[in-house]
Amino acid sequence: MFQDIIHAINKATSALTQGDLSYRISLGSSKSELDDVAAAINTMLERITHLMEKTRQASNTIAHDLRRPITYARFQLEDAALHAHSEEDLRTAIAQAIKHLDHITSICGALLRIADIEAGMCRAAFTWFDLALALQDVLELYTVVAENRGLIIKATFPEHLPFYGDRTMIQQALANVLDNAIKFSPCAGIITCTAHFLPPLPTAENNGSIELKITDQGIGMTPEEMAHATERFFRAEQARHAPGFGLGLSIVQAIVQLHGGQLHLADNTPGLIVRIDIPLPFPGKSATL
Amino acid sequence: MRVLLVEDDQTVSNFIAKGLTEAGHLVEQAEDGKNGLSLAQHEKFDVIILDRMLPGGVEGIHILETLRKQNNSTPVLLLSALADINEKVAGLKAGGDDYVTKPFSFSELQARLEALVRRNRNEAQPQTRLNIGDLEIDLLSRNVRRAGQKIELQPREFRLLEFLMRHAGQVVTRTMLLEGVWDYHFDPQTNVIDVHISRLRQKIDKPFQHALVHTIRNAGYMLQE
Ligand SMILES: Nc1ncnc2c1ncn2[C@@H]1O[C@H](COP(=O)(O)OP(=O)(O)OP(=O)(O)O)[C@@H](O)[C@H]1O
Ligand SMILES: [Mg+2]
């Protein structure tokens, strides 16, 4: 009996070692213990296969998405080398190529930033600060951009909002969400930004939470698109014409998770609602979220 | 100005040296930390460009700390391949004056170097009034006048103008403005700065004969008569 189990496990692991990810232990008809073990191992194999597939896809998309600006830069330079008639032509082409290279730098920067945040090391830099002031600063930076496009940003939050986390990151999260709200809105419309404190539930282990909500009246997203929105490089079909790499929300997601919070997307008919909930720790035992 | 450049990557080092020499500066190159430190200790420079990671055991940060301990206050600009904001904070804490991440554009580096050197010279006299041409701002009363006419600015617009005036005649990059005026340390995705500059222009340039705020192609902005 035990020998059967060991034999089956042995076969499965050596198949896996040799690269056969599709090998599964066959399940007998009897409800024996072997079947329980076999089922557990099969589930594990399933999971490994899935993770490997995900990793493979992720590096594929990264390679693919980097190829685009590289291709553009290459075209530009090659074309200039072959066909430029004047110094002016050459300079324009070179400036264009540099722009594409800068895009690659931005993409790499964003990917590294996500990796850094996901590694969780930045938690050491968490402090208490006033979220209201931090949000105000970002809003001020973007309000002018919104107005330029005929959009109004309406912000409502209390005068002070004690918050525990990384100030720069929270500002970046809001900036990315606002950038989307502006970018995916037609000219005219209202963007709202609200933040408030939610007291803890009697059963909760946290000290209440902060809810940050940004709504717009733009093109919005289908439920299907929302499900993929935070994936690296994801951009919905109608979004492709707008500038961007599909990394903004991936960064937001990583930042929110680092803070132990949650990111929700919902329909604003028309437009998008982005809600971020972040729990607050008790003052004093601040290091554990 | 006289620049000490401590950078082990020959390609990067020669690229910077060439650009700075062409701009009329004197550049001394060192390939490792030991040489860099010894040059910095024995000669006088207006600014030092220091790579964070150097071969041969003597790290950029170590050079920096040693110099500061010896009361050498030459402005230091750190170069690094690490974009991490914590790295940046560590570099500035160790006594660095500015921090640029690779890959960078030469105009960004040059603008920052010039700002550092100028700041170092100006630090002695604190000013309460700044002026350029017929534009004048009072840092205490926060009054702004051009050709005798009072101009109303929002607080942030005032800070933006103040920053430009403190760097008058120099190129100021968008990143420098984001950091210096908004204390913003990440890529804002869109060109928010351009929008703010155009607002400012509406107020301080539009109603007058000639423009003071100039766009410097592929680099940034400059306030100049
Ligand atoms: N406010 C919004 N309204 C409609 N669609 C949105 C909105 N925000 C995000 N999306 C959709 O989700 C996608 C992913 O957003 P994300 O911010 O990650 O990427 P991006 O804005 O396209 O590029 P980047 O943020 O890198 O500049 C967008 O391309 C768009 O399809
Ligand atoms: Mg975005």
Task: Find the CB nearest A137 among B85, B182, B195.
Answer: B182
Q: Classify the complex by whether its ipTM is higher than 0.95, answering yes or no.
A: no
| Residue B192 to residue A140, Cβ atoms within 8 A | no
Q: What pLDDT does residue A22 have? A: 84
Assign A289 a pLDDT band (cuts: 50, 70, 90).
very low
Are A253 and A178 spatial neighbours (Cβ–Cβ below 8 Å)?
no
For the stretch B75-99, pLDDT in tens is: 999 998 876 777 788 888 899 999 9
Interface test with B, best of A172, A176, A249, A255 (most B CBs within 10 A): A172
CATH 3.40.1010.10 describes domain A124-279: no
| Residue A137 to residue B85, Cβ atoms within 8 A | no
Smallest CA–CA separation between A169 and chain B, in Å? 9
Give chain A's contact residues with B (Cβ, < 8 Å).
95, 98, 101-102, 105-106, 109-110, 112-113, 116, 121-122, 125, 137, 140-142, 144-145, 148, 168, 171-172, 175-176, 179, 182-183, 243-244, 248
Assign A285 a pLDDT band (cuts: 50, 70, 90).
low
Q: What pLDDT does residue A17 have? A: 85
Distance A133 CA to ligand 1 centre (A): 26
**Chain A residue with the nearest C-alpha to that of B186:** A172
Question: Which positions in chain B touch A182 (Cβ < 8 Å)?
Answer: 190
Distance A162 CA to ligand 2 centre (A): 27
B26 has a chain A CB within 8 A of its CB: no
Whether the CB of A247 sits within 6 Å of ligand 1: yes
Give the ligand at the shortest distance from the Cα of A220.
1
For the stretch A110-162, pLDDT in tens is: 888 888 888 877 777 899 999 999 999 999 999 999 999 999 999 999 999 99
Its CATH architecture, for the domain B2-122, is 3-Layer(aba) Sandwich (3.40)
- Pick the residue whose CA is nearest to atom 28 on ligand 1: A235
For the stretch B197-206, pLDDT in tens is: 999 999 999 9
Q: What pLDDT does residue A199 have? A: 92
Domain extents in chain B: 2-122, 129-223
Which parts of chain B register pLDDT below 50?
none
Helices (H), chain B: 10-22, 33-42, 60-69, 85-93, 106-122, 155-166, 174-182, 192-204
CATH 1.10.1040.10 describes domain B129-223: no
Please indicate, yes or no, whether the overall pTM of this predicted structure exceeds 0.90. Answer: no
H or E element, residue B137 = strand B135-138
Looking at residues A81-95, what average pLDDT do you find? Answer: 92
